[in-house]
Each structure stands twice: as structure tokens, then as C-alpha cells.
């Protein structure tokens, strides 16, 4: 039996690194080691970025690569964050908690399936619906840096958790346009310099604040997308 080795094996291995990181995150969540789990999901995000970059560099994009990427994303950025919010709080609500916790995973898988049907190999400036890695970051940034101390905020912290869960889920299946993350490309930098400036500033401030700023940036990112969508909608309707 002969096994054919092609160039696509390199980005596919990176994609599987995404899945391994997501699976590891689930294990750590089951042990209530949420900070380590969050790090593993962030590592999954790095693999998720690298596989696409490498695939384009060596011209190894393929339909299998798209499907594999989505399957891995479903675990790392859908199931893992859903399990985290369940393990951190919603387990107390028994069956109702299971249903609520599952919403980001369900919405994320639907979002990935819709993307695959409409996907091309060209880079997009915008995504229709919030990308599942962004939704995962939104959930993680609240859970790990804010909600873990929810006893200090009382019921307000729980209310925000409900809001974050529902907003992330609705945003993924919506038709609202969300900006793609800036790419390490000189032409892209020249066309969208302000996006690089905002991203770089966010990284620096997040490091200074030990990660606390990430959640507030994600709130801004989502609010900006909805406001732009609403303004564009009314602008079209008045023509």
C-alpha cells in the first residue's frame, strides 16, 4: 500500500495542532484549570492562523483543508468555550444549564457550515457573522479575566455571563459583517493602516493590563460591527 504525501500535509498538520490544543483545553477545563485551558485555546488560534498562511504560501489550499479546518475549529472554538461556561457556572442549572451552555457550540458549528458552503480561497476583508475564533475569544476574555471573580460582582456578573453567551451565539449566525483580523502583508498594511494600529495598541494594552482589556476590546469590536451594519441598513433603505 502506498501513501501519497503532498504539500498539503504541512498545513493539515498545523490544523491538527489546532484540534489537539482544543482537546487539551477541554481536559484542563474538566479539572477546573481555566487559565491553562484558555492558553491552550489561544494556541489553537495560533495554529488556526498559521495553517492558512502556510497553505497560501506553498499553494496547498484544498477543499479537504477547508473541511478539516472547520472540524477542528468546531472543537477548539465551539465545544471548548461552551464547556468552559458550563463548568464555571451553568452546571448549577442542571438541564437548563446544558442547553444554555451549548448555544455557542451550536451557533459556531452552523456558522462554520454556512462559511464552507460560501467559501472561496480568496482572503476576505469582512466575514458574514462573527468568526468562531472571535466568539471564543469574547467568551474566554470574560470568563478568565472577569467572571472567575464573579462573587465580587454578585448577580451582575452572572447577568453579564448570560449576555456574553447569547451575544456571541447570535453574532455568529447573524448576517452582520465583522472585520477580518489584520494579516502580516505589506499591501494590506498600506490599505488598512488603522487596523494594524488598533490591533497593535490592543495587544500592548492587553499585556499592560494582564489580559483584562481584551474583553473590553471585544465588546467594542462587536458593538462597532452592529452599529456599522445598522447605519448601512438605514442608508440603503432610504435610497
- Topology classification of domain 9-116+126-237: 1.20.120
Q: pTM here? A: 0.87
Q: 102: which 3 cell numbers?
A: 451549548
Burial grade of 51 (CB within 10 A; 0-12, 13-18, 19 or more) = buried
pLDDT digits 0-9 by tens, 147-159 = 876 656 678 889 9
Residue 181 has pLDDT above 80, yes or no: no
Q: Where are the domains of the chain?
A: 9-116+126-237
Q: What pLDDT score does 31 carry?
A: 96
Give the pLDDT confidence of 62-83 residue by residue, as tens digits.
Answer: 778 788 889 999 999 999 999 9
Tally Cβ neighbours within 10 Å of residue 20.
16
Cα distance between residue 202 and residue 141, in whole Å: 13
Question: Is the predicted pLDDT of residue 185 greater than 60, yes or no?
Answer: no
126-128 vs 177-179, strand pairing mode: antiparallel
pLDDT tens column, 104-145: 999 999 999 998 887 654 456 678 899 999 999 999 999 998
Q: What is the pLDDT of residue 76?
A: 96
Q: DSSP letter at 124?
A: -
Q: Can you give the pLDDT at residue 94?
A: 92
Kindly give the residue spans of alpha helices, DSSP state H, lying in the chain.
9-30, 34-57, 63-73, 80-88, 95-118, 132-145, 155-173, 186-191, 193-208, 212-237
Helices (H), 185-211: 186-191, 193-208
pLDDT in tens, 7-64: 667 888 899 999 999 999 999 999 999 999 999 999 999 998 888 778 777 776 777 8
| Residue 95 grid coordinates | 438541564
Phi, psi of 31, rounded to the nearest 5 degrees: -95, 5
Kind plus residue range of the DSSP H or E element containing 134:
helix 132-145
Amino acid at each position: 500500500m502506498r501513501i501519497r504525501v503532498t504539500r498539503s500535509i504541512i498545513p493539515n498538520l498545523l490544523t491538527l495542532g489546532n484540534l489537539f490544543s482544543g482537546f487539551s483545553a477541554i481536559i484542563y477545563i474538566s479539572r477546573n484549570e481555566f487559565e491553562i485551558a484558555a492558553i491552550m485555546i489561544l494556541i489553537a488560534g495560533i495554529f488556526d492562523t498559521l495553517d492558512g498562511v502556510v497553505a497560501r504560501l506553498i499553494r496547498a489550499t484544498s477543499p479537504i483543508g477547508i473541511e478539516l479546518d472547520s472540524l477542528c475549529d468546531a472543537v477548539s472554538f465551539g465545544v471548548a468555550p461552551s464547556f468552559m461556561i458550563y463548568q464555571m457556572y451553568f452546571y448549577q442549572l442542571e438541564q437548563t444549564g446544558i442547553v444554555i451552555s451549548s448555544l455557542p457550540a451550536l451557533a459556531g458549528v452552523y456558522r462554520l457550515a454556512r462559511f464552507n458552503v460560501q467559501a472561496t480561497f480568496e482572503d476576505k476583508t469582512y466575514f458574514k457573522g462573527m468568526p468562531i475564533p472571535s466568539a471564543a475569544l469574547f467568551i474566554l476574555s470574560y470568563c478568565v479575566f472577569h467572571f472567575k471573580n464573579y462573587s465580587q460582582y454578585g448577580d451582575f456578573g452572572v447577568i453579564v455571563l448570560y449576555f456574553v453567551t447569547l451575544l456571541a451565539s447570535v453574532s455568529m449566525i447573524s448576517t452582520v459583517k465583522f472585520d477580518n483580523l489584520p494579516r502580516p502583508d505589506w499591501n494590506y498594511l498600506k490599505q488598512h493602516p488603522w487596523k494594524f494600529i488598533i490591533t497593535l495598541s490592543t495587544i500592548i494594552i492587553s499585556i499592560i493590563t494582564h489580559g483584562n482589556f481584551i474583553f473590553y476590546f471585544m465588546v467594542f469590536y462587536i458593538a462597532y460591527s452592529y452599529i456599522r451594519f445598522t447605519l448601512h441598513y438605514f442608508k440603503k433603505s432610504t435610497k
